[in-house]
Amino acid sequence: MKRPQVVAGDVPADIAEIFRKSSELAIDCEMMGLNPNRDRLCIVQIMVEKGPCVLVQVDESAGAPEMRALFENPDIIKIFHYARTDLLFLKMRLGIDTRNVYCTKIASRLARTYTDRHGLKELVREIIGESMDKSLQSSDWGREKLTEEQVTYAAYDVAYLFQIKRELEKMLVREQRRELATRLFDFLPVRLELDRHGFALDLFEH
């Protein structure tokens, strides 16, 4: 994998054109914390399989029109791992309503019912056969200049998602849960609205 391009504010126009022609994009976000009311959205990683990867250093005050156009395009599948958090930050911090989402964590929970380990590190280990170092997940993503270690870490967070999606799709079809997965992906906007209004608990609980 080539070194990702670290850019300020938005996806460059030439790379956005490549992304627009893709059927799938892998996306991840890095924040200062996990509270969208308090914590800043710092980095958005976007990658096309066997193509460029960009790390956008977010300027929340300026918006990101190229990124918004890509993420709101219903013809492009956006692959996330644990989409719920990333989508909420994109909505609350940049006003982006991401469409056509595929969440590998939801897919894993539906397909891999033989385990309760559904983190990205575990999926990479089982499906791809590689070891993933997650120690930089909690590093300072708000710094002006990212370290080389952060850049590499952020890129691999998206690079694995394409293969993971393909393998989980096979399992979902085999276990006859693919349609259920689609319905859960479609439900994500409702889940985000509940999160925005403070309904963190499952409203279906007793």
Q: What tens digit of pLDDT does each residue of 137-167 get?
A: 778 999 999 999 999 999 999 999 999 999 9
The mean pLDDT value for 49-63 works out to 92
Residue 31, SS3? strand
Question: How many other C-beta atoms can be found within 10 angstroms of the C-beta atom of residue 50?
Answer: 7
Residues 6+ away with beta carbon under 8 Å from 141: 30, 31, 32, 42, 43, 150
What per-residue confidence (pLDDT) applies to 138? 79
At residue 200, the pLDDT reads: 76
193 has a pLDDT exceeding 90: yes
Task: Report whether pLDDT(19) > 90.
Answer: yes
Higher per-residue pLDDT: 108 or 205? 108
Phi and psi angles of residue 205, each rounded to the nearest 5 degrees, phi first? -70, 160
Tokens at residue 98, please?
């991401």
pLDDT band at 53 (very low <50, low <70, confident <90, very high): very high
Q: Strand pairing partners for 173?
A: none
Which CATH architecture group holds 5-196? 2-Layer Sandwich (3.30)
- Judged against a pLDDT cut of 80, whether residue 69 lies above it is answered with yes
| pLDDT range class, residue 61, cuts 50, 70, 90 | confident
User: What percent of the chain lies above the pLDDT cut of 70?
Assistant: 100
Measured between alpha carbons, how far is residue 98 from residues 5, 87, 101, 145 in Å? Answer: 22, 7, 7, 27
Residues ≥6 apart with Cβ < 8 Å to 160: 120, 123, 124, 128, 130, 132
Q: How many whole angstroms separate alpha carbon 18 and alpha carbon 47?
A: 10
